[in-house]
Amino acid sequence: QNDAALRGERAAAPSYPMPRVSPVDPPPQLAALRAGRAASRVTLWDGSEVWLVTSHAGVRAVLGDRRFTAVTSAPGFPMLTRTSQLVRAAPHTASFIRMDDPDHSRLRSMLTRDFLARRAEDMRPVLRELLDDMLGGLVAAGEKPVDLVAGLTIPVPSRVIALLFGVGEDRRDFIEGRSAILIDRGYTPDQVAAARDELDGFLRELVESRVADPGTDLVSRLVTDQVRPGRLSVEELVPMCRLLLVAGHGTTTSQASLSLLSLATDPGLADALTKDESLLPKAVEELLRFHSIVQNGLARAAIEDVQLDDVTIKAGEGVVLSLSAGNRDERVFPAPDTLDPHRDARRHLAFGHGIHQCLGQWLAKVEIEEMLAAVLRRLPGVRLAVPFEELDFRHEVSSYGLGALPVTW
């Protein structure tokens, strides 16, 4: 092929993910693609071509359609990162986020009651106390600036998970460190596999200790209600616990960090929330829409031919659903690039859609609401302590976020 033909092909299927121009907005090419056909061809890092869906309606249609599978070993499944192959290479390590029904719903349903909205509400008083301690400590130390990532948005989700699992403080660093490696594209597949194996080893020991001596935590409940009666094996419980750890950690940290960044840089948001704290739940939905931290979207493969408006997706073809593009779709959210805490953003796609829609969404929202409320109360007039351009945005991590958030008040 001559150069011109190659260039033509590249232009037809641009590389994905595309680079951002503004650190708080999705790449502008996504908006251009959204204005076009229902799905466009893009090229992934490994040279493979997949479909990219960028409209709100299109993302919902695919995620709500059983003719698309979440099983990584399915033909054509998009390998979004170098490490996506790990799950494919070791299917026994897959958790239910990578399964279809009925396997998926059999396992997910064992956890539903622990993650209901009212169970998340039960966590609120515990969180308030925890946050009072943490921010009280930061303020009392009298040192400014403080880094709200190290000081708040990493430890809060990590403590919440440790509480759920009944794991001691001494193991939190280990869990935080290993979970962070699993979602960072900066690590090699070997490093990620090693971190996953170490985490699984730790979880297996935890499960076995609960089998021997159950307590009142979530793992003990699963052992008593599901493992003992033979409905769930230890081999299935370990990846389930890993999923909760990994899915609940980095995501919440990233979303909370970017939400606090908005609070520190957008006086309109801080004013609106200071005047009326009851606006918080609405503002958190809008912050989820606006930041859409699952930045590279979700992967699926078609198991049958599917007509998506003007595009036919053939069986065995991969599809990537851009949650961030769908969340900036002007047909659903007028003036989509404006962060408006008064907007009703509940139709956002930040937690996905369909059978895999985030199980931890209520817990995540309560955590983020409480972190914002605590910062508003304890650090009045919170603002960035460094120029915006110096912030360390984490482009390499599957949940987009910040390495540090130095603030003063």
Give the footprint of ligand HEM on this chain (CB under 6 A): 70, 96-97, 108, 243-244, 247-248, 251-252, 255, 293-294, 298, 350-352, 356, 358-360, 363-364
Nearest Cα to Cα of residue 80 among 112, 39, 100, 52: 52
Based on CB atoms, which residue is closest to ligand HEM, 78 or 151?
Answer: 78
The pair of three-digit structure tokens given for residue 372, joined into one six-digit string: 């914002």
Which amino acid, one-letter code, is at 333?
F
Shortest Å, Cβ 293 to ligand HEM:
5
Min dist CB 70 to ligand HEM, Å, is 6
CB closest to ligand HEM, residue no:
360
Contact yes or no for 321/298 (Cβ under 8 A): yes
Q: How many residues make up the chain in this entry?
A: 409
**Rounded least distance, CB 365 to ligand HEM, Å:** 8
* Of residues 97 and 374, the one with the C-beta less far from ligand HEM: 97
Cβ neighbors of 364 (< 8 A, separation 6 or more) are 248, 251, 252, 255, 351, 358
Whichever of 293 and 397 has its CB closer to ligand HEM, that residue is 293
Nearer to ligand HEM, 13 or 57 (CB): 57
Single out the residue of 37, 33, 1, 3 nearest to residue 17, CA to CA. Answer: 33
For residue 406, the SS3 value is: strand
Sole residue written with tokens 């409940």: 221
CA distances from 208 to 158, 226, 263, 270, 397 (A): 22, 14, 43, 47, 32
* Shortest distance (Å) from residue 49 CB to ligand HEM: 21
- Residue 11 beta carbon to ligand HEM: minimum distance, rounded to whole angstroms: 30
Our CB check for ligand HEM shows the closer of 99 and 306 to be: 99
Of 220 and 255, the one with the shorter C-beta distance to ligand HEM is 255
Could you tell me the smallest distance in angstroms from the CB atom of residue 208 to ligand HEM? 22
Contact residues for 10 (Cβ-Cβ < 8 A; gap 6+): 43
Alpha-helical segments (H) within 148-188: 148, 155-165, 172-182
CB of 360 to ligand HEM, least distance (A): 2
Quick one: 175 or 247, whose CB is closer to ligand HEM? 247
